Amino acid sequence: METMKIAGYELFVVPPRWLFLKIMTDEGIAGWGEPVVEGRAHTVKTAVEELMQYLVGSDPLRIEDHWNLMYRAGFYRGGPVLMSAIAGIDQALWDIKGKYYGAPVHELMGGACRESIRVYAWIGGDRPSDVGRAAEEAKRAGFTAVKMNATEELQMVDSHAKIDQVVERIAAVREAVGRDFGIAIDFHGRVHKPMAKMLIRELEPYRPMFIEEPVLPENNEALREIAGSTHIPIATGERMFSRWDFKTLLSDGCVDIIQPDVSHAGGITETKKIASMAEAYDVALAPHCPLGPIALAACLQVDATCYNAFIQEQSLGIHYNTSNDILDYVKDRGVFECRDGYVAIPKGPGLGIDIDEDYVRERAKIGHNWKNPVWRHRDGSIAEW
């Protein structure tokens, strides 16, 4: 009996800042993935084209073998570009496999351990403002948690006035939403160790749900000192791309929540393994996902199977989504509906969403060349965005 074969693929650069991948088979089944690094969509597109040379003509159902081929057959491996390219291909292969067997991806990964997962909304933008009002709106929309950037740019050692401004914003959010509401505070790697220690101490009275990336991932050794000085849960991991990147972070015992991105950290296959590693260290999972509908659907399939998953990021209404939002590209706009702070795990075959391919093709004619802003300090030096 002949096996199904990968017949070809297409890539679509679509607004506001995403890259979609469609993999076709000779049996007419197609799968979708979202391989992208924000601000480097065209670079990742080229990496996908290089990796797909290995896969065209092969059996799409051999996902574990394909993952190892893409990762291990290259002498140079890891990093955001290659791992994001692998991630999108992996998502599309799982989508094909689920459609082939007529089952959602989570059923092929051992079945679901939950029916839904809590989600949070983004508020405040890159330079956080009007956060109290925005938090109230998110609460009225049915969310039970929000996330916001803590600061604008900060020098390695900066003023107490900037710390005071952060505290005023967090206080406004807490006052607006009440005590029993999640507030996640993203330091975004903008805060260096000297300021992080000071800022975290000032935030303690407002009981954040977690603080995210209190230092840049290349400075993760500083987490030991930071973790020893606070009771606030510490989250990190969106700029870590494989189980090998997470290995030392977990064994050091200085993180409470990991945030791998299913479009950056090797896809569904690798993120599930990272999550299982974290579970062995009693560390929670909150996948990073400020991206499009395919990435979110892939996250939800992973969340369904991971005991330690407790909340999911999603980008509906995020400040980056100006020309298009995640629901524009799916046929069923209710698939990610938030009810009482939770989104149900999609139960359709594959990733559980139906992409509006005609609209994808229409918007791909426009494309994008999104880049994150370049910030400078008052002295002219480059600031962390």
Active site residues: 188, 288
Taking the CA atoms of residue 301, residue 245, residue 149 and residue 256 in that order, the dihedral angle to the nearest 10 degrees is 80
d(CA 124, CA 138) in angstroms, rounded, equals 11
Strands 182-186 and 210-212 come out as parallel
Nearby residues of 376 by Cβ (< 8 Å), 6 or more positions away = 382, 383
d(CA 113, CA 307) in angstroms, rounded, equals 7
CA-wise closest residue to 270 among 236, 293, 247, 294: 247
CA 36 to chain CA centroid, nearest Å: 11
List Cα–Cα distances, 324 to 110, 317, 363, in angstroms: 35, 10, 9
Report the run of H or E that residue 373 belongs to, with start and end: none
Residue 14 contacts residue 5 (beta carbons within 8 Å): no
Cis peptide before 373 (omega within 30 of 0): no
The residue type at 329: Y
Residue 195 contacts residue 163 (beta carbons within 8 Å): yes
Residue 367 contacts residue 13 (beta carbons within 8 Å): yes
Residue 242 contacts residue 78 (beta carbons within 8 Å): yes
State the CB neighbour count (10 A cutoff) for residue 358: 9
